[in-house]
Amino acid sequence: MRYAIQVQYIGKNYAGSQIQFRNGEETETPTIQGELEKAISTLIFGDTENNNRRFKTVFSGRTDRGVNSTGQTVHFDTDKPIVASKFVYQLNEILPKDISVSNLRLVDDNFHAQKSAKCRHYRYVFINRKCKNAFDGDLMRIKFDINIERMQKALNYLLGEHDFSSFKSSGTLNPSTVCFIEKAECKKDGDKVTIDIKGNRFLYNMVRTIVGTLLEIEGHNFPAEHMKQVLDACDRCKAGQTVSPYGLTLIEVTY
């Protein structure tokens, strides 16, 4: 039987969502996947300290160190029937305080958390203010004034299907660089700026580099068309910096 579950987490204390390996061996670096698999194995098999059996999970996609999630989808297989409400409650009691689960459901054996996904929604939030505030937390603070209308015009150039090579990190393993973006919107509420981007897939560090390019446009007072020039160049050197992971959240994955 295959089950899918929603996972929420604050990524600050983890080296990303995926288990880390060195020389073919799993490292002790804390990850979301490592904590989740350990907790599920404890519920299914009992004490895992002296038990080599361990559940394997499949995530809808990778998130980097410091990135949060409110809607990461994960699937796993087991031949043991699960009572959803009881399992979710017990799992949340075992998991660290900055990881939680919800919405456990039985899915078809053909369902795949990553390959079956049709759309992913990311949100980036930063502060636009000269002075710091103790409650800003880890959010990035931009001191210069931004033009939200120009930012939106720049984002509009990303809509549709394009080669996003300019926004991919050198660590991208998948050679395919074509993505379809169905939504790219920004808004400002007080001194908080929110950027929402939805697409069928995202390259490694793509959202953070898009935000970095937006801030380069604003910081240098470039026209919004600069975003199109960067996009068409298919050259990472033309884009802005990859901004801090703090403030980036995987909001939802739809199927």
Catalytic residue positions, numbered: 64
Q: Residue with structure tokens 């926004």?
A: 167
With a CB cutoff of 8 Å and minimum separation 6, the contacts of 114 are 58, 59, 60, 61
Task: Decide if 44 contacts 55 (C-beta within 8 A).
Answer: yes
Tokens, residue 93: 């009691």
Cα 215 to chain centroid, rounded: 20
What do you get for the CA distance between the two ends of the chain, in Å?
19
Cα 83 to chain centroid, rounded: 29
> How far apart are alpha carbons 57 and 33 in whole angstroms?
7
> How far apart are alpha carbons 57 and 6 in whole angstroms?
12
